[in-house]
Chains A and B, each alone.
Chain A
Amino acid sequence: MRLKCPLCGERDRREFHYYGAEDYLHRPEVDAEPAAWDNYLHLRDNPAGMTRDLWYHEAGCAQWLLVTRNTVTHEISAVELVAERAK
């Protein structure tokens, strides 16, 4: 598997560290209810199909990437910089 980093181009999977689902971008406010934190930290849609998750280009540009990919086929359809994502 190879990921096309927006800054570095297509690179080997071993350069990247997988963190987890896109949910990690939606951190609750500090005073949020425990259920919101449970949702953020633990509960996952875990789709068999298209998903969006966070990868860190550890051995490259050190950017966090938001990857859109298929969990069944491993096909990658988009890689965006988290720093530049549309809010």
Chain B
Amino acid sequence: MRYSGLKVITEGLFGNKGWKPAWRDPAPKAEYDAIIIGGGGHGLATAFYLAKNHGLTNVAVLEKGYIGSGNIGRNTTIVRANYFLPGNSEFYSHSLKLWEGLEAELNYNVMHSQRGLINLFHSDGQRDAFARRGNAMINQGDDAILLDREGVREHLPYLDFEQTRFPIYGGLLHPRGGSARHDAVAWGYARGADRRGVDLIQNCEVTGIDIENGVVKGVQTSRGAIRAKKVAIIVAGRSSQVAAMAGMRLPIESHVLQAFVTEGLKPVINHVVSFGMGHFYISQSDKGGLVFGGDLDFYASYASRGNLPMVEHVMEAGMTLMPMIGRAKVLRSWGGIMDMSPDGSPIIDKTHVEGLFIDCGWNYGGFKAVPASGWCMAHLMATGESHEVARKFRLNRFATGHLLDEEGTGSQHNLH
């Protein structure tokens, strides 16, 4: 069923009785050409582009829970392409271009809103670094505008410019940055993949990976064995567990990252604002809630909830930056499990097992990467070659020293 404004109107006139489920609920077949472990954003996007770009439709996505139950449904929805390092820069640039055409591509309203993203800076040195980053973004073909304090004030008059421990010197504006509706991205890709023949199999937990003589043969699941010549592990925070089924030890440590949302408010924050010195960032959802977050809890964790010291820290940082939010009531907070890599950059690569691929290490930046990650992972699975914008996301780069440490914080999993 194709969605359209006319369809919404006619369904509204006739009691909305004509809507059908957005995707099927098939039982697993005995064999597929390719299996994707993980029905999150990246897995669904990979399935979609395998079908659309490469004509591979005999594909199954195996999801332990339900579609969209992982980090794709529990993030802070920022979309941006403000990376600096060659390797990251072209990849996120490609992703942003895909975002800009995503709704037409999927025939699905993902509520992509390019409201502008402003990274604040608080010293001369930081201004220099942001000017350099902005130049890198412009060289990549994206947009960046260096704002002085008055320039920031025009956009964000409600910030506390003078009183904070970190006086605001200015900001780097990325006009094409913004946000999107996270669930809709999962649902849009799921529907798009399903319509092209991909089987989305929910409540199907992978319990083993079958390998013979170094070649992948399929997977064992809670719904029986399924054979496939190509298997992709795309499971974010659980990457280490699934990769261990193939005898791999990954350069990943899983950490918890918290996020918060307030009650719905009238429009007040029009941009995405990040306050790096206070480890705080915020935007307002289309529903009106202020969505904000901070840094990791800093210790390895699989508990999908955080610890109170970071809650306190995030609230303090928010109050330091924009005291006006002090009366908003926080509705809820939650924690997601982040697959942290030692350099803060992701992995899209083959493994030592023929036919087994891995896409992981998204740290806490996976949402904006969903389209390009799916695009490049599909390219890798279909052609056997890394896509040109993802060729530095190698699994062995830690051993060879070709790290992509965007923040320059060193080779430690919780510092990115």
Which residues of A are in contact with B by a Cβ distance under 8 Å?
1, 12-14, 18-21, 34-35, 38-39, 41-48, 51, 53, 55, 71-74
Chain B: how many interface residues by the 8 Å CB criterion?
26
Known contacts A20-B414, A41-B411; decide if A48 and B302 are in contact (CB<8 Å).
yes
A71 and B399 contact, CB distance less than 8 A = no
A44 and B251 contact, CB distance less than 8 A = yes
B300 and A38 contact, CB distance less than 8 A = no
When chains A and B are docked, how far (Å) is the Cα of A14 from the Cα of B300?
15
Return A66 CB to nearest CB of chain B, in Å. 14
B240 and A42 contact, CB distance less than 8 A = no
Contacts of A74 in B (CB 8 A): 301, 303, 307
Among the listed A20, A21, A44, which residue makes an inter-chain contact with B250, where contact means beta carbons less than 8 Å apart?
A44
Known contacts A18-B298, A53-B300; decide if A48 and B413 are in contact (CB<8 Å).
no
Contacts of A72 in B (CB 8 A): 302-303
B412 and A45 contact, CB distance less than 8 A = no
Among the listed A1, A43, A53, A71, which residue makes an inter-chain contact with B251, where contact means beta carbons less than 8 Å apart?
A43
Contacts of A18 in B (CB 8 A): 298-300, 414
B300 and A46 contact, CB distance less than 8 A = yes
Whether a CB of chain A sits under 8 angstroms from the CB of B43 is: no
A20 and B413 contact, CB distance less than 8 A = yes
Chain B 283-326 interface 0/1 with A at a Cβ cutoff of 8 Å (1 = within): 00000000000000011111100010100000000000000000
Whether a CB of chain A sits under 8 angstroms from the CB of B253 is: yes
Contacts of B238 in A (CB 8 A): 48
Known contacts A20-B414, A42-B411; decide if A71 and B250 are in contact (CB<8 Å).
no
Is chain B's binding surface mostly helix, strand, loop or mixed? Answer: mixed
A46 and B303 contact, CB distance less than 8 A = no
Contacts of B298 in A (CB 8 A): 18
Contacts of B253 in A (CB 8 A): 20-21, 44, 46
Known contacts A20-B413, A71-B302, A73-B303; decide if A42 and B342 are in contact (CB<8 Å).
yes
When chains A and B are docked, how far (Å) is the Cα of A46 from the Cα of B242?
11
B252 and A53 contact, CB distance less than 8 A = no
Return A51 CB to nearest CB of chain B, in Å. 6
When chains A and B are docked, how far (Å) is the Cα of A71 from the Cα of B250?
17
Contacts of A46 in B (CB 8 A): 240, 250, 252-254, 300
Whether a CB of chain A sits under 8 angstroms from the CB of B249 is: yes
Return B346 CB to nearest CB of chain A, in Å. 14
Return B274 CB to nearest CB of chain A, in Å. 24
Contacts of A42 in B (CB 8 A): 251, 342, 398-399, 411
Q: Which of B208-254 contact A (CB under 8 A)?
A: 238, 240-241, 244, 249-254
Considering the complex, give the chain B residue whose CB is closest to the CB of A24: B412
When chains A and B are docked, how far (Å) is the Cα of A48 from the Cα of B253?
10
10 additional A-B residue pairs with CB within 8 Å, beyond A1-B307, A13-B309, A71-B300? A18-B298, A20-B412, A21-B253, A34-B399, A42-B251, A42-B399, A43-B250, A53-B300, A71-B301, A73-B303
For this complex, 30 residue pairs linking A to B, each with C-beta atoms less than 8 Å apart, are: A1-B307, A12-B309, A13-B309, A14-B309, A18-B298, A19-B412, A20-B253, A21-B300, A39-B249, A41-B342, A42-B251, A43-B251, A44-B240, A44-B249, A44-B250, A44-B252, A44-B413, A45-B244, A45-B249, A46-B300, A48-B240, A48-B241, A51-B300, A53-B299, A53-B300, A55-B299, A71-B254, A71-B303, A74-B303, A74-B307
When chains A and B are docked, how far (Å) is the Cα of A55 from the Cα of B399?
26
Return B405 CB to nearest CB of chain A, in Å. 12
When chains A and B are docked, how far (Å) is the Cα of A42 from the Cα of B248?
13
Contacts of A38 in B (CB 8 A): 251, 398-399
When chains A and B are docked, how far (Å) is the Cα of A14 from the Cα of B252?
24
Contacts of B244 in A (CB 8 A): 45
Considering the complex, give the chain B residue whose CB is closest to the CB of A44: B253
Contacts of B398 in A (CB 8 A): 38, 41-43
9 closest residue pairs by CB, A with B: A46-B240, A42-B251, A18-B299, A38-B399, A42-B398, A48-B302, A43-B249, A42-B342, A72-B302
When chains A and B are docked, how far (Å) is the Cα of A39 from the Cα of B307?
30
When chains A and B are docked, how far (Å) is the Cα of A35 from the Cα of B303?
31
Return B310 CB to nearest CB of chain A, in Å. 10
When chains A and B are docked, how far (Å) is the Cα of A53 from the Cα of B348?
28
Considering the complex, give the chain B residue whose CB is closest to the CB of A18: B299
